[in-house]
């Protein structure tokens, strides 16, 4: 049985605090391994959940500028949540940081922004298999909708995220 997205989002928002209080672990660090297409939730130095991910359509290399379709590399924060995203939930990565801005300016380009961890498109234009097997984002980190619920519930605002090559 498929549960409508609105019901899932409402459930996530309604029960977020209760789930945290029920003993679900909350990450103190998120680590993304781009080469392995993995996102790890870590608490006290130990990974407790790992998820398969999709990246920007040009996954190799650090994000350099707006429109390069790359996922940034470095240390950032998960600094804002959007339950009304065009994707199934999204959590913003604090890209660009000061270093990214200085580097882009020195190259005369806009560093870009709006890098998120998010679920699948609310209005998909491709098959489900495509989203599961391809790097398809503009530079974001995408997961399945069910994995996005877990990440949403098991991270807090301002959780550090380290994105590795």
Give the pLDDT score at 16: 45
In a domain, 165, yes or no: no
Show the DSSP H helices in the chain as ranges.
5-21, 98-106, 128-133, 145-153
Count how many domains the chain has: 1
Give the pLDDT score at 9: 47
Looking at the predicted structure, is the pLDDT value of residue 2 above 70?
A: no
List of residues 6+ apart from 89 with CB closer than 8 A: 9, 12, 81, 82, 83, 118, 119, 145, 148, 149, 152
In a domain, 128, yes or no: yes
Q: How confident is the model at residue 4 (pLDDT cuts 50, 70, 90)?
A: low
In a domain, 60, yes or no: yes
In a domain, 61, yes or no: yes
Q: Indicate the pTM of the whole model.
A: 0.86
Give the pLDDT score at 15: 43
In a domain, 38, yes or no: no
In a domain, 11, yes or no: yes
Q: What is the mean pLDDT of residues 120-125?
A: 96
First to last CA, the chain: 38
In a domain, 163, yes or no: no
* Residue 59 contacts residue 70 (beta carbons within 8 Å): yes
In a domain, 33, yes or no: no
The CATH number linked to 144 is 2.40.440
Residue span of the structural domain in which 112 resides: 5-26+54-158
Q: What angle do CA 13, 113, 76 make, to 5 degrees?
A: 70
Q: How many helices (H) and strands (E) does the chain have?
A: 4, 8
pLDDT, tens digit, 9 for 90 and up, residues 128-158: 899 999 999 999 999 999 999 999 999 999 9
């Amino acid at each position: 049985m498929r549960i409508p997205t609105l019901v899932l989002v409402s459930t996530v928002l309604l029960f977020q605090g209760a789930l945290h209080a029920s003993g679900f672990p909350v990450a103190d660090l998120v680590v993304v391994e781009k080469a392995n297409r993995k996102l790890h939730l870590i608490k006290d130095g130990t990974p407790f959940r790992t998820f398969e991910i999709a990246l920007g359509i040009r996954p190799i290399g650090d994000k350099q500028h707006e429109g390069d379709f790359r996922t940034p590399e470095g240390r950032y924060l998960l600094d804002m949540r959007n339950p009304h995203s065009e994707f199934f939930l999204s959590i913003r990565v604090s890209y660009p940081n000061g270093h990214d801005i200085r580097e882009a300016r020195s190259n005369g380009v806009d560093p870009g922004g709006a890098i998120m961890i998010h679920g699948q498109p609310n209005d998909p234009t491709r098959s489900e298999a495509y989203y599961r097997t391809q790097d398809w984002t503009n530079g974001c980190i995408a997961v399945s909708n069910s994995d996005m619920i877990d990440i949403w519930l098991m991270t807090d605002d301002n959780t550090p995220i380290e994105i590795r090559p």
